[in-house]
Structure 1
Amino acid sequence: MTTEFACRLCQHTPLQPFATDRRRSYWVCAVCQMVQVNAANFLSPEAEKAQYDTHVNDVDDPRYRQFLARTATPLLQRLKVPSRGLDFGCGPGPLLAKMLTEAGHSMALYDAFYHPDQQVLTQRYDFITATEVAEHLHAVDEWLNRLWAMLLPGGWLAIQTRQYVSAPEFPNWYYKNDLTHVSFFSPSTFVWLAEQWSAKLDIISDEVVLLQKASN
């Protein structure tokens, strides 16, 4: 069985069945290897925000800082001080932006629900962070390409998202149980993205990747 909806990252169709649980079916793209759910399974914006409002991300929580350090530490090793960055999908408590500011960088904030400042999306940056964001994106191709276009030459895009497990394990994978998670990436997905962008790809772990834009 196949589905006729196109991959939301590379537009390939048809997609192949990947896994099913009691609430949703999941489909994989043969080209970019992104696993995704049908748009019919998307939550409404109101339901989506209600889910985000339940998240407890305390900027004073050392465990939350350690979690974000998975991205901050390797990114800071690659940045010149000072650099200018954007924390995309920063949420109501932008701790990552605070951490990067403490390291000597200037930060802009954007979040569709909590910091919906469209002006920051018209500017260009030395680096952009997207931590625990990519899996929520509905128009994933539009947003990732838009972020890439906002990077200056030599700039870095840091993405933190859990990379999916194999199809037999997927139905029991905790990460897909959040109904706001609709797009799931693998290392092969990021390799495909890097090829499309002619980018340098550093796969830091099974949840953090860094992509560097070519310098002029």
Structure 2
Amino acid sequence: MIETPAYSRCPLCQASAAWFHSDARRPYYQCSDCLLVHVPAAWHLSPAEERAEYDRHENQLDEAGYRGFLSRLADPLLARLQPASQGLDFGCGPGPALAAMLREQGHEVALHDLYYYPNPQHLAQQWDFITASEVVEHLARPLLVLDQLWGCLRPGGWLGLMTKRVTDQQAFVNWHYKSDPTHISYFSERSFHWLAQRWDAHLEIIGADVVLMRKPETA
């Protein structure tokens, strides 16, 4: 049995994170600064186990309910994009419905997903927008990945993220979102404010699970 330490290191801001909660599977730690809740590396799934969990998902490209869910990110982003923008759907999964929805509105959308659409060359390009729907909660090294995505945005570009947010410890105890073993990084509202300050970004908190951040026009 792995010993549960009292403290861990936040994978987002690197501040100290104290024990927050434990369930039958693993412990969770919350950062004292950005309030990110994370699962330490000793309790992460292997790549093969992670892929097996993803393969169980059954979201279909044309499923109305799934499209309605994704519209919570797509609609506010579309309202802010210039016509015929070029974007990247990062972590799109096996059925890239969000990319399809954005393409239907006249935008160009490339795909990159570690398991289903591995196109790492797209991370060496520049984009008008980048989307990551239900992705950041899976990241073992969120700062590394998010800094990389931010660097791929053109000046004035938009980063659109969808992920459910931590509110408080009492709600977390019974939160269904932590039951997915591939979820290891849980963002709070303060986590996104921390990122916005780091990047000098314009931050918009939209609803309970959508965040848009705009890159400055000039450095």
TM-score by length of 1: 0.97
Q: Hey, what does 2:113 align to over in structure 1? A: 111
What is the aligned residue count?
214
What SS is found at the alignment partner of 1:68? helix
- 1 CA distance for matches of 2:184 and 2:15? 17
Conservation of the 8 A alpha-carbon contact between 1:165 and 1:173: no
Q: Hey, what does 1:7 align to over in structure 2? A: 10
What SS is found at the alignment partner of 2:178? helix
**AA partner of residue 210 (structure 1):** L
**AA partner of residue 153 (structure 1):** P
Q: Hey, what does 1:162 align to over in structure 2? A: 164
TM-score by length of 2: 0.96
- 1 CA distance for matches of 2:123 and 2:193? 25
Q: Hey, what does 1:121 align to over in structure 2? A: 123
What SS is found at the alignment partner of 1:169? helix
Instruction: Deviation per CA, 1:128-151: give whole Å up to 9, x if none.
Output: 000000000111111000000000
Cα drift, residue 27 of structure 1: 0.4
Cα drift, residue 208 of structure 1: 0.2
Q: Hey, what does 1:172 align to over in structure 2? A: 174
Q: Hey, what does 1:182 align to over in structure 2? A: 184
Cα drift, residue 169 of structure 1: 2.1
Q: Hey, what does 1:26 align to over in structure 2? A: 28
Structure 1 segment 62-211 matched on structure 2, within 5 A: 62-211=64-213
| Unmatched 5+ stretches in structure 1 | none
Cα drift, residue 119 of structure 1: 1.0
Cα drift, residue 118 of structure 1: 1.2
- 1 CA distance for matches of 2:21 and 2:52? 27
Cα drift, residue 165 of structure 1: 3.0
Which of 115-124 and 45-54 deviates more?
115-124
- 2 CA distance for matches of 1:169 and 1:153? 38
What SS is found at the alignment partner of 1:168? helix
What SS is found at the alignment partner of 2:15? coil
Instruction: Deviation per CA, 1:17-57: give whole Å up to 9, x if none.
Output: 11121211110111111000110110000000000000011
- 2 CA distance for matches of 1:169 and 1:119? 40
- 1 CA distance for matches of 2:43 and 2:26? 7
| Unmatched 5+ stretches in structure 2 | none
Instruction: Calculate the aligned-residue CA RMSD, in Å.
Output: 0.9
